[in-house]
Amino acid sequence: MTSAFDPQSFLDATTTEVLVKRPPLPVGDYTAVIGEITVRPWQGKSDPSKSGIAYDIPLAVEVSADIQVQLNLSFPTITLKDSCMIDLTTEGMIDYSVGKNRRLRIYRDATDNNKAGQPFAARMMTGSVVKVKVAHDI
């Protein structure tokens, strides 16, 4: 059985509805679930000679019922994305020396994945529940 649905029809679909920006979450602490982590290369905009890799970490933030009402939201979670720039060694591997990869260490500590002798891969954090602090830059 074939479907009569044509995704190309969205290109010609018209509407009079406007899209409205979601209000920001109020500043505070929230519970979130880490989604599927991805890795991407980056290159400096002001200095293209600088480059490296970053982990992009989606966080499904749980929004309480009162905040849903306050912001007029019809959904219980909002996905925010955090990025974690990775310090590399001269050989191009993750730098595990003291003081390096602070942000990754924070995620590993929060997900109980930072124990000596215990195998770790970034994907092991997927599905972990963490506390996040929402703040706004003005």
> In terms of residue numbers, what domain contains 91?
30-129
Q: Is residue 91 part of a domain?
A: yes
User: What are the tens digits of pLDDT across the range 84-138?
Assistant: 999 999 998 999 999 999 999 999 999 999 999 999 999 999 999 999 999 998 7
Residue 41 contacts residue 55 (beta carbons within 8 Å)? no
pLDDT computed for residue 5 by the predictor: 78
Q: In which band, very low, low, confident or very high, does the pLDDT at 75 lie, cut at 50, 70 and 90?
A: very high
Q: Is residue 6 part of a domain?
A: no
Total of domains in the chain: 1
pLDDT computed for residue 8 by the predictor: 87
pLDDT computed for residue 10 by the predictor: 87
Q: Is residue 80 part of a domain?
A: yes
Tell me which residue of 122, 58, 56, 115 sits closest to 85, measured CA to CA: 56
Q: Is residue 102 part of a domain?
A: yes
pLDDT for residue 6 is more than 90: no
What value does the mean pLDDT take over residues 29-53? 93
pLDDT for residue 34 is more than 90: yes
Its pTM surpasses 0.85 = no
Q: Is residue 134 part of a domain?
A: no
